[in-house]
Amino acid sequence: MIWLAELPPFVAFYVAALLAGLTRGRIRVLILLAAPLLGGLQLLGIEPGVEVQTRFLGYELIPFRVDKLSQLFGYLFHIGAFLAIVFSLHVRDTLQHVAGLCYAGSALGAVFAGDLITLFLYWELMALFSTVIVWCGGTPAARAAGIRYAIMHLLGGVVLKVGIEGVVVGTGSVQIRPMLATDFNTWMILIGILINAAAPPISSSVRSLPLLLHLLLTLT
C-alpha cells in the first residue's frame, strides 16, 4: 500500500498540469509554482529504500524506487523545474504550460524508475511533451525544428528499445542494474540514451546521422 508520505513526487506535476489546463491568471501561476514546491517537499519526506512494485505481463515492475542517487537527482530536477517555471510565467500559452509540467513529471518518473519498461515509458513521454513544446512556437521554423526533433527522438527511442529488449531476453529481468557497454544490447541502450540526451559524439543535429549509422553498422 502506498501511503501519502510515499506518494511519488512527480504526481504533483501531472495533477498541476491538469489544473493548469482548466485555470487562468493568478490561479494558474500559483498552481505552476506549487507543483515543484509540493513535489520537493514530498521528496524530502521519503527515505531512501522506498520501493513500489507491481506485476505486468509476468514481469516484476518497479515504477517508483528511491535510493540516494535518484533522490539527489530528484532534488536537482525539482530545482530546475522551479526555475524553468519562474522564467516561463510570462507565457500565456496554456498548452506550453501543460506540456512543460508533464515533461518535468515524466523526467522525474524516469529518475525514479526501477525497471527498464517504466524507464522506457517515461523516456518516450519526455520526447512527446518536449516535441509539443517546440511546436508551440507556432512558426514554420518551429514546426520544422519540431519535426527534426521528433525524428531524432523517435530514432533514439527505437535504438533504446532494441537494447532493452535484448537485455530482457538475455537476462529474463527488467530491473535496472549497473551495465557496461560490452555487448550489442548494452551498446544500443547507451547509444539510445546519447541520442535522446544530445550528448557528444551524437547530437540532435541531422548531421550526426552518418556517425550514428556508422556506429550501428559497426556493432552489428
* Nine-digit cell string for 160: 533504446
Q: What is the pLDDT of residue 5?
A: 56
Element (H, E) at 63: strand 59-65
Asked if 186 and 101 sit in the same domain, the reply is: no
Is residue 129 located within the same domain as residue 154? no
* Under 8 Å between Cβ of 81 and 36: yes
Q: In degrees, to the nearest 5, what angle opens at C-alpha 149 toward C-alphas 145 and 150?
A: 120
Domain assignment of residue 182, given as a range: 139-220
Residue 160, classed as helix, strand or coil, is: helix
60 and 13 in a common domain: yes
On whether both 119 and 50 belong to a single domain, the answer is yes
Q: Same domain, yes or no, for 178 and 110?
A: no
- Write the pLDDT tens digit of every residue in 23-71: 888 999 999 999 999 999 999 888 888 888 888 877 888 889 999 999 9
Query: Does residue 186 contact residue 176 with C-beta atoms inside 8 Å?
Result: no
Q: Which three cell numbers stand for residue 154?
A: 523517435
Q: From CA 104, how far away is CA 81, in angstroms rounded?
A: 6
Do residues 124 and 94 both lie within one domain? yes
* Same-domain status, 109 and 73: yes
pLDDT at 200: 67
Q: Report the number of distinct structural domains present in the chain.
A: 2
Give the predicted TM-score (pTM) of the model.
0.85
Residue 144 and residue 125 share a domain: no
Say yes or no to pLDDT of 3 above 80.
no
Q: What is the pLDDT of residues 165-204, one digit of tens each?
A: 888 888 888 888 888 878 888 888 888 888 887 776 665 4
Mean pLDDT score, 78-104:
92
